[in-house]
Amino acid sequence: MEEAKREHFGGRLAIIMAMAGSAIGLGNIWRFPYLAGEHGGAAFIFVYIIASLFLSLPIFLAESIIGRRSHANTYGAMEKLAPGTKWKWMSILTIIAPLIIVSYYSVVGGWSIEYLLKSLTFSFNNVPRAEISSMFSSFIASPWIPIACHTVFLGTCAVILTAGVKSGIEKFSNWSVPILFILILVILLYSLTLPGAMDGVEYMIKPDFSKIDSKVILAAMGQSFYSLSLGVGTILVYSSYVSKKENLLVSGVGTAVFDLLFAIMAGFAVMTAVFSAGVKPGAGPGLIFESLPYVFSTMAGSAPIISGIIAILFFVTILVSALTSGVSLMEVGVAYLVEEKKMRRGVATLSVFIGTWILGCLCSLSFGPMSGLKIFGENLFGFCDWISSNFLMALGALLFSLFVGWKMKKSDVYDEFTNGGTLRFNVRCFKAVYFLIRYIAPLVIGIIFLSGILL
């Protein structure tokens, strides 16, 4: 009865689009290029691809197996699959983590709204680079406009969520993900024509393996988790909307391929532009906001209109990709409140909105009036990012891989992964996938986790 009421995604493509919508986001456009820049370009990308295949993909499958097996939210899933145990209390952690992430994520989403408006009015044209940098720092330090933008961003996510899984999440990602690919392709092609762009290409494809050290490996693994939305229940909850007929391996591989492709295209687009402008590739989190407006608007040469339009497309891409991820982060909390607290979807969304809006406002103010408040040496925004991406995500991923590898019955895991033994290819790779989930994932996450605390 209960299952009949639950919404399902409309088919294989809809599932991949929704999951890719969650995966593709600020992580690909904002985090990936600056991390690759800081950690030696191609060498970082090489480790990132290996980590995505052998670590992140198995964890993705573990989350999918729990979600689809239970057809429930994170807490309900643990209670259904391990009734009367403490697992469900641990799952609360993976409900809180995405709410922390979406709070500060929405602040960055808000910045992209302001930057989109600025690029629509061609405000960056012929402004010297130093001024563009100071424009950014004084903008994020001002109290009101960033909070207004954060409100618009989070409010838009909430409106999409209120419409439900099929008419909200599915519809939105079905049109936005293909558009994102077209936009990033256009931006990439333009960036490749900029003078000096080839230095950026070389940086991205020529690996210097001597650069690979433990810090690079950790950063690449952490980024691969972040990018695939792992460890915070998002993939679990989205998989709970997947019907029993679908092939979990196909949706997992499909999502990972889209995400990787997008990250690489965004990485090339940003890096060629950055090199062309003579900006240092390791400029850190401000890279896209401080240098790209300058790159697109000042490198225009004879065609300022074209580069102005490219700047607009660039901020549209950031905004739309952040929205599809923001929606998926909020859905974890909404699904919990609807199913466990029996709230109506609208009320649940409003509750999640209010909580994350307040934390987001504090994160935004931590660049200005509240910058004096330091937690472990970071402002509140930095602390929320640090605690979630270095600590909570790894802990959640550990929890999910241990649950599938050690708590669930092997026969149930097999049944879910192979659709009752009917998917021949999945039957053949089950052993390897199970081994990666049961032994390799917990071991490697344990290492990431410890070094995240110790480094």
Count CB neighbours of 346 within 10 A: 14
Residue pair 251/242 in contact (Cβ under 8 Å)? The answer is: yes
| 23 lines the binding site for ligand PHE (CB under 6 A) | yes
Residue (149 or 197) nearer to ligand PHE, CB: 149
Distance CA 285, CA 37 (A): 11
Residue (237 or 365) nearer to ligand PHE, CB: 237
Residue (28 or 70) nearer to ligand PHE, CB: 28
Residue (94 or 426) nearer to ligand PHE, CB: 94
- 320-339 residues near ligand PHE, rule: CB under 6 A: 325, 328-329
Q: Could you tell me how many residues of this chain bind ligand PHE (CB under 6 A)? A: 16
Residue (104 or 203) nearer to ligand PHE, CB: 104
Residue pair 34/190 in contact (Cβ under 8 Å)? The answer is: no
**Stretch of residues binding ligand PHE (CB under 6 A), selected from 18-26, 309-317, 333-341, 353-361:** 18-26
| 94 lines the binding site for ligand PHE (CB under 6 A) | no
Two structure tokens written together for 261: 């492709």
**Stretch of residues binding ligand PHE (CB under 6 A), selected from 174-182, 223-231, 242-250, 403-411:** 223-231
Residue that the structure tokens 């950063």 belong to: 219
Q: In terms of Cα–Cα distance, which of 93, 64, 68 is closest to 235?
A: 64
Distance CA 419, CA 244 (A): 7
> Smallest gap, in angstroms, from Cβ of residue 440 to ligand PHE?
21
Among 15, 19, 26, 154, binds ligand PHE (CB under 6 A): 26
Q: What is the number of the residue whose Cβ is closest to ligand PHE?
A: 27
Residue (329 or 448) nearer to ligand PHE, CB: 329
> Smallest gap, in angstroms, from Cβ of residue 102 to ligand PHE?
8
Q: In terms of Cα–Cα distance, which of 200, 203, 223, 206 is closest to 50?
A: 223
Count CB neighbours of 96 within 10 A: 17
Strand, helix or coil for residue 378:
strand
Residue (105 or 294) nearer to ligand PHE, CB: 105
Residue (225 or 294) nearer to ligand PHE, CB: 225
Among 56, 173, 176, 234, binds ligand PHE (CB under 6 A): 234
> Smallest gap, in angstroms, from Cβ of residue 321 to ligand PHE?
7
- 124-163 residues near ligand PHE, rule: CB under 6 A: none
> Smallest gap, in angstroms, from Cβ of residue 268 to ligand PHE?
17
Among 156, 227, 276, 390, binds ligand PHE (CB under 6 A): 227
How far from each other are the two terminal CA atoms of the chain, in whole angstroms? 50
| 28 lines the binding site for ligand PHE (CB under 6 A) | yes
Residue (64 or 234) nearer to ligand PHE, CB: 234
DSSP per position, 232-285 = SSHHHHHHTTS-TTS-HHHHHHHHHHHHHHHHHHHHHHHHHHHHHTT--TT--T
| 219 lines the binding site for ligand PHE (CB under 6 A) | no
Indicate left, alpha or beta for 278 from its phi (over 0: left) and psi (-120 to 50: alpha). left
Q: What is the DSSP letter of 229?
A: T
Distances (CA, A) of 106 to 25, 154, 189, 400: 12, 6, 29, 26
Distances (CA, A) of 292 to 279, 287, 311, 314, 416: 10, 7, 8, 9, 45
> Smallest gap, in angstroms, from Cβ of residue 11 to ligand PHE?
22
Distance CA 196, CA 295 (A): 12
Residue ranges in contact with ligand PHE by CB under 6 A: 22-23, 25-28, 98, 101, 226-227, 229, 232, 234, 325, 328-329
